[in-house]
Amino acid sequence: MELAARRGLSALAVTDHDTMLGLDRAASRAADLDIRFVPGIELEIMFIPGEFHLLGLGLFHPGEEFASTLTFIDAKRVERNFAILERIREAGVAADMDEVQAIAGGTIVGRPHFASLLVQRKFVKTKQLAFTKYLAKGRPFYVGRETVPLEKAIDLIHASGGRAILAHPLSLFLSWGKLQLKLNELKEIGIDGIEAYHPTATLNACRRLETMGRNLGFMITAGSDFHGENRPDRKLGITAGDRKIEDSFLDGLELDFVERPKA
């Protein structure tokens, strides 16, 4: 939140993967700094061949069912992390989970921390190479995640007052023709919008996604997908084409904001 304030941002969404644990702290600090805060989450949905990430934006009233679902996902994440570690050990890299947790520095352990471990062990030169060769889907150290069924994820988001948004649609790895058919299907299932603008896509591709989405009646969002020090190439408040994210994308979500008092 303080970084957002230094960069002059008027609004910010936090959408950590499969957890809402940071949202209350973020909301409190955002109120102090006069930043409009959008509580959110990013859920992984099972999809072949690509990656399907579902954003929940505007989770102002998450319920017990949402919390219990995330608790289950968290337990499965721990099992997955030990499975990844075992594959790394089998490849001849000496390591234990305490080391990985130390790299995570008290945050939730995930693949970026295993990538850092591989760099520290000089198994690879860079974290990106660790993903490309070993940790990405289909690579030797990859272990699939337990995911929330799409319909349930949409219901949980809507029950929390939020919007269900398909993150970075190009990660589905579908041709443009098949992507339009899939988006039409997702619209019928209940997804509210698409993240048309993402820093990994070209500006032309993002504009094409926006046109496709609007023609299908979707809300359109833009994201920076800021990951902190894990991804120094991502800039807070900046999306495709190195452009600032305009307020119009937030306005288009038509969220019923819950204003929090300043501390």
Name all domains of the chain by residue range, CATH numbers in brackets: 2-62+160-251 (3.20.20.140), 70-135 (1.10.150)
Q: What are the residues whose beta carbons fall under 8 Å from the beta carbon of 39, sequence distance 6 or more?
A: 13, 14, 20, 23, 26, 27, 58, 59, 60
| 3-state DSSP percent of the chain in helix, strand and coil, to 5 | 45, 15, 40
What span, in angstroms and rounded, lies between the C-alpha atoms of 187 and 169? 13
36-45 and 243-244 beta bridge pairing? unpaired
Tens-binned pLDDT, residue by residue, of the chain (263 aa): 999 999 999 999 999 999 999 999 999 999 999 999 999 999 999 998 888 999 999 999 999 999 999 999 999 999 999 999 999 999 999 999 999 999 998 788 999 999 999 999 999 999 999 999 999 988 999 998 889 999 999 999 999 999 999 999 999 999 999 999 999 999 999 999 999 999 999 999 999 999 999 999 999 999 999 988 778 889 999 999 999 999 999 999 999 886 544 44
Q: What pTM, to 2 d.p., does this model score?
A: 0.87
Written as one letter, the residue type at 73 is I
3-state SS assignment for residue 66: helix
b/e 175-186 (16+ beta carbons within 10 angstroms → b): eeeebeebbeeb
- Predicted pLDDT of residue 132: 94
CB 164 within 8 A of CB 55: yes
